[in-house]
Structure 1
Amino acid sequence: MTEVSQDGPVCRQAGGAAAPGEDWIAELTATGPVRDDALRRLHDLLLRAARLQVSRMSAMRAAVGAAQVDDVINLAADEAMVAVLSKLSTFEGRSRFTTWAYKFAILQAAVELRRHAWSHREVSLEAAPPLVEPRPSPDQYAEGAEFAAAVRNAIDRVLTPHQRRIALALIVDEVPIDVLADRLGSNRNALYKTLHDARGRLRADLAGQGYPVPPTRSRGGAR
């Protein structure tokens, strides 16, 4: 039996239990007008999700400019559509299909907005220059200044040139990781691996000098 909700049809299994997304999957893998209508509704959903995410990123949105915002939203929705359709077989029904699909557009909108915001900004990938020495500070900051000097020294001494430029670009210059991956012809996972290895070397070196280092945190969400 099929009921209709605000997010589209919901298939009811025997005994009345809902099977979230079952009708969506059936319609998106059908042919003819049924699939065409499902694709239209899915794209509308993804557009709404992308528009919502862009509205949340006000600083990035301002950097992109109003003239390009609609292009970002539409591109994000199109890319999310491709991703959703390519991963239909991975949908396990643990949440509503619309909730599952929504996340693709949210992620893609954030990626596209950052990419557009950085499209005309220079990302220095040359050998990293020495970090600026700290200005003279009061005695109560002496310990912090000493630790900062130890970190700078470790960056120059224990990191490879590649690790150094990746770490400085991501941590110091705050270049979005997807933007840096594009500029380098690499991917997010490879850069995460490089950053992880760089942090490991720095932690080991600083710990060996007797400096307390915080416990390693999990990577968590991507920027």
Structure 2
Amino acid sequence: MAELDTFLFTSESVNEGHPDKLCDQISDAVLDACLAEDPDSKVACETCTKTNMVMVFGEITTKANVDYEKIVRDTCRGIGFVSNDVGLDADHCKVLVNIEQQSPDIAQGVHGHFTKRPEEIGAGDQGHMFGYATDETPEMMPLSHVLATKLGARLTEVRKNGTCPWLRPDGKTQVTVEYHNDNGAMVPIRVHTVLISTQHDETLSFVCLLPRHQVVMLVLIPLF
């Protein structure tokens, strides 16, 4: 097998306690709460967080009666942020909410869907996303992505079920897979590298921080 016929591809997955994921979940929860009471809600909600503080801001037009602070605290609590030791205490952290009505200019373009044809409805935001399906896994996703996601899910599972009580909510997994170019088909050959970065109890030694059998082996071995 020629050396140029192989290459490494890495995928990353963040746990539910990672700041990026935490903020996503809070914004999602706000959107869900608005849509539950008012399906015509227009929500542009952003969230940011730092040690023991969460801020929710943006532009929202809705008839729903939403308790934004309660949503923030409930989401943080459900993830496992329940004390200062883990960097955020859901019941005592500072929650800042700055929500305003949607800009009139944006509203004019997006609120006329009852009287406009679909092709005439404007967008309040724009973005270009791309994706693809692959037959290398049953999930139709790249193997590196599937493994990184499953490792992260397992890390959360052993934290919440008490198997690894020293784990904390924040974490990130990264998997590098070596692929072979088989006449244009990208065929996974082996797992090259597995990286787990996780928040943990600061009193533990390095040896205790290797969730090899509880996490890595239980996810990888059944696949090979």
TM interval, shorter chain, is under 0.3
Larger Rg, first or second structure (1 or 2): 1
**Structure (1 or 2) with the greater strand fraction:** 2
Bigger relative contact order, structure 1 or 2, given CA contacts below 8 A and separation 6+? 2
TM-score normalised by structure 2 residue count: 0.21
